[in-house]
Structure 1
Amino acid sequence: MRGGAQLSVTDMRRSTRHPVNLPVIGEHRARGDILLKLSNVSTTGFMAEGVEGLGRGERVTIRLPQIGRIEAFLVWADGDRAGFQFERIVRLDDFAKLIKALQPNLKTRSN
């Protein structure tokens, strides 16, 4: 029997990644809450920094603006960076709302 997660979305790394700087709390079954800093996000997953001690196939649940709670599987790790794949693809209209929610509102900035 193969180890690790049986991912439902096959290697779709061609998804456009949107750079972000978003701290989130990931819920891990064994480790509890872990702080992750998302570096980029796409409709199929995200890259995070500050990931240590997790192995391929481990799951975390994060909460994203406009998306809500979503589970992701660790696909690769290199040092403290790791790539996660969502357990489901985020719909494009929901992804657009997420990106809009993460953009700074330039109209409310004071000069």
Structure 2
Amino acid sequence: MSTGAQLSVPDMRRSTRCPVDHPVIAEHQARGDVKMHLCNISANGFMVDDAKDLARGDRVIVRLPVIGRIEAYVMWTKDSRAGFQFERIIRFEDFGEMIEALQPNPKLRRPR
């Protein structure tokens, strides 16, 4: 019997990803608290550029502005990067507020 998350790999590449520069502390079931750096985020997930010893299917819980605690699963890893899919899609209004909190530089924000 397989262990870990049973993940589907939907084609979410059309989701708008916003560049961010945000450190988080993720709760990992086996490794405890893990420091990660979010480099982009969408309503479906995020990417970190400093993934250490993460594997596809690993589950983490992160705390994001506006959203609060949310669970995410590793969908892919390559070199030092990893892509995560949220357990649920973030609502449009909440996503917009979160991006404003994560991107204090107005030049990085998407026009509404």
The TM-score bracket by the shorter chain reads 0.7 to 0.9
Aligned partner of 2:30 in structure 1 is: 30
Aligned partner of 1:67 in structure 2 is: 67
Deviation at residue 9 of structure 1 after TM alignment: 7.5
Give 5+ residue unaligned stretches, structure 1: 107-111
What CA distance in whole angstroms lies between the structure 1 residues aligned with 2:2 and 2:29?
A: 20
What is the root-mean-square deviation of aligned Cα atoms in Å? Answer: 1.8
Deviation at residue 8 of structure 1 after TM alignment: 6.7
Deviation at residue 11 of structure 1 after TM alignment: 2.8
Q: Which piece of structure 1 moves more, 32-41 or 11-20?
A: 11-20
Give 5+ residue unaligned stretches, structure 2: 107-112
What CA distance in whole angstroms lies between the structure 1 residues aligned with 2:14 and 2:58?
A: 22
2:51 aligned with 1:51, yes or no?
yes
Q: Spell out, residue by residue over 1:13-65, the C-alpha distance to the aligned partner (whole angstroms, 9 max, x if none).
A: 21100000100000000000001100000000000021111110110100000
2:15 aligned with 1:15, yes or no?
yes
Which amino acid is 2:27 matched to?
A: E
Higher alpha-carbon Rg: 1
Secondary structure of 2:97's counterpart equals helix
Q: What is the TM-score of this pair, normalised by structure 2?
A: 0.86
What CA distance in whole angstroms lies between the structure 2 residues aligned with 1:78 and 1:3?
A: 22
Aligned partner of 1:109 in structure 2 is: none
Secondary structure of 2:5's counterpart equals coil
Deviation at residue 104 of structure 1 after TM alignment: 1.7
